[in-house]
Amino acid sequence: MWTIPRGISKMKALRVLRRVTLGNDDSDAAQEVGELEQLQVFVVSLDDRKAIVDEDVLRNLALSLSKMCSLRWLWIGHRRSDDNNSKQKQVVNFLHHLPAPPRLLQTLWITGDVDGLPGWIGSLTHLVTFTILDTTLAGDQLFGILCKLPNLKSLYVTWTRHGDGSMSTLETLELRFDYRSTHATEWSIVGMEQLTNLKKVTLDGNKDNPALIHAVELLRADGSGGGRLSTRSKNNEFHVAVKYR
């Protein structure tokens, strides 16, 4: 990882910016990256191991992201200290305050917890891959936004498990497939093995939707103790229901 240098805005032809960090003293650098109009790949880590990331840094970064009209690949990470300060845990909440999203995004990664997915994610019509790591979001907090994405083919989620085993208590999961997902035959859920108390999965959509048909086959194999979850005990099997429109 390296710190974004001041003056980077002069590199107008730059298309890829990877493995960079923004810390408490990088407000100017956070502002300058917004002037890189040809940037297509941006991988940045917010580093608060020494001090909580300054609000000016986050505000300028949000403004810069909204200006990146060519951006296709965005990875926003949070290098958190061992301190349990709640403000540190929610650093990526700044994503809620983008004036406008980078609308051509095809891949979006978020590492670190956030208070609900930003609504603008649901407007990313070109988004194909979405990943969120170390989150506590579940149910409508995730899928209420993600179900709006017409071209999403790959979803990867890892949950932060607290002492109370938050995700292990989830009993019901409902997924809706509308006309915009008819092409998404590469549908899958990663992390089903963490939902040890799951009792019922409901799928809702048109009976001719190939994504729905594929999902039913996949989940029924999992729910019966076969498929990817062959080690699941009989007591932990879940029921798959389908609501056709």
Say which CATH number the domain at 158 has. 3.80.10
pLDDT of the residue at 166: 46
> Which residues constitute the domain of residue 185?
166-244
Token digits for 56? Answer: 């000016």
What does each C-alpha distance from 50 to 23, 61, 82, 152, 164 come to in angstroms? 9, 19, 10, 37, 29
User: Over 70: is that where the pLDDT of 54 sits?
Assistant: yes
Could you tell me if 56 and 86 lie in one domain?
A: yes
What does each C-alpha distance from 21 to 92, 173, 231 come to in angstroms? 14, 36, 41
Among the three residues 148, 163, 178, which one is the final residue of a domain in this structure? 163
Could you tell me if 149 and 123 lie in one domain?
A: yes
DSSP symbol at 59: H
Token digits for 211? Answer: 């994504």
For residue 75, name the pLDDT band (cuts at 50, 70, 90): very high
Are residues 238 and 198 in contact, defined by beta-carbon separation less than 8 angstroms?
Answer: yes
Could you tell me if 206 and 133 lie in one domain?
A: no
Are residues 84 and 108 in contact, defined by beta-carbon separation less than 8 angstroms?
Answer: no
Could you tell me if 184 and 147 lie in one domain?
A: no
- Mean pLDDT, range 2-15, rounded to an integer: 92
Could you tell me if 22 and 118 lie in one domain?
A: yes
Are residues 221 and 227 in contact, defined by beta-carbon separation less than 8 angstroms?
Answer: yes
Higher pLDDT, 68 or 235: 68
Could you tell me if 85 and 111 lie in one domain?
A: yes
Could you tell me if 235 and 177 lie in one domain?
A: yes
Could you tell me if 181 and 113 lie in one domain?
A: no
User: Over 60: is that where the pLDDT of 170 sits?
Assistant: yes
Among the three residues 117, 138, 163, which one is the final residue of a domain in this structure? 163
pTM (2 decimals)?
0.69
Strand partners, 174: 202
Among the three residues 127, 145, 163, which one is the final residue of a domain in this structure? 163
pLDDT of the residue at 89: 56
Name the domain count of the chain.
2
Could you tell me if 51 and 2 lie in one domain?
A: yes
Could you tell me if 140 and 176 lie in one domain?
A: no
Could you tell me if 96 and 176 lie in one domain?
A: no
Could you tell me if 137 and 200 lie in one domain?
A: no
Rounded to 10 degrees, the C-alpha dihedral 51/52/56/59 comes to 140
Higher pLDDT, 54 or 230: 54
163: left (phi over 0), alpha (psi -120 to 50) or beta: alpha
Tens-digit pLDDT profile for residues 90-127 = 788 999 999 999 999 999 999 887 888 999 999 999 99
Q: How many CB atoms lie within 10 A of CB 101?
A: 22
